[in-house]
Amino acid sequence: MLITKVKEREKIIAALRNKNIFVFKCFGCKEVYFPEEEIDSLLEEAGVKNRVARVDYLCREEFAEKYYKKYENILKDAEAVIVFSCGVGIQVLAKILPDIPVIPACDTHYINGFQGLTAQDADCQQCGECWLNITGGICPITSCSKGLLNGPCGGAKEGKCEVDKNMDCGWVLISERLKLLKEEGALHKKSTNIRDYRLIIEGGKRSEE
């Protein structure tokens, strides 16, 4: 079972209307709640015809690499990549395209026990409100030991997390990625991020239906 929901429609359409974007939609997991019709209607409304890749198992680095090669020419000068997939797929793609903003178009609510390949190349905790657009495509929930959303704690030493010297500090990685994307200003933002834990429960409920 995989449950993703498209983020706020107006915002996604606005993002899709920008020039030089490229879209990935992932349909790897077959028995899923994945809003395919909604996505297609969104793309139509935004007038996106070309520059869309329908792929599967974006969550696998080896597959994602292949897609990248296939679309390399267009991707090279894309200003942003908008991705309809679970949080793992988005992160894997962001790793391959570290200097292009990779924007999540879906929130991942539930990912457990789906049929298909097991995602191993990145981790998504199905928080239900994907933050990858503000963190350069690196998940703050799974790459930071405290799941912090407003920048790092003061505990990292030489880029390693206070919890374990063999673990990179997620926020140091995020800040490096944002620098590469020339978005480091995003960290100086004035808004404060706070999680909504209802979204996990809602995701769980839906799966029982």
DSSP the chain: --EEEE--HHHHHHHHHSTTEEEEEE---SSSB--HHHHHHHHHHHT--SSEEEES-TTSHHHHHHHHHHTHHHHHT-SEEEEES-HHHHHHHHHHSTTS-EEE-EEEEE-TT-SSPPP-SS-----SS--TTTTTT--HHHHSTT--SSS--TT-BTTB-TT-TTSB-HHHHHHHHHHHTT-GGGGG-S------THHHHHHHHHHH-
Could you say whether residue 157 binds another protein (CB under 8 A)? yes
The residues of the shown chain that bind ligand SF4, judged by CB under 6 A, are: 87, 91, 107-108, 124-127, 130-132, 139, 141-142, 144-146, 148, 152-153, 155-156, 161-163, 169-171
At closest approach, how far in Å is the CB of 199 from another protein?
Answer: 14
**The entry of ligand SF4, another protein, none that residue 84 binds, CB within 5 to 8 Å by partner kind:** none
In the range 117-146, which residues lie near another protein by CB under 8 A? 145-146
- Residue 78 or 149 with smaller CB distance to ligand SF4: 149
At closest approach, how far in Å is the CB of 10 from ligand SF4?
Answer: 20
Number of residues that bind another protein (CB under 8 A): 30
- Residue 63 or 171 with smaller CB distance to ligand SF4: 171
* 1, 153, 173, 200: residue in contact with another protein (rule CB under 8 A): 153
**The entry of ligand SF4, another protein, none that residue 139 binds, CB within 5 to 8 Å by partner kind:** ligand SF4
Query: Which residues make up the interface to another protein (CB under 8 A)?
Result: 145-159, 162-163, 171-172, 175, 184, 187-190, 192-195, 197
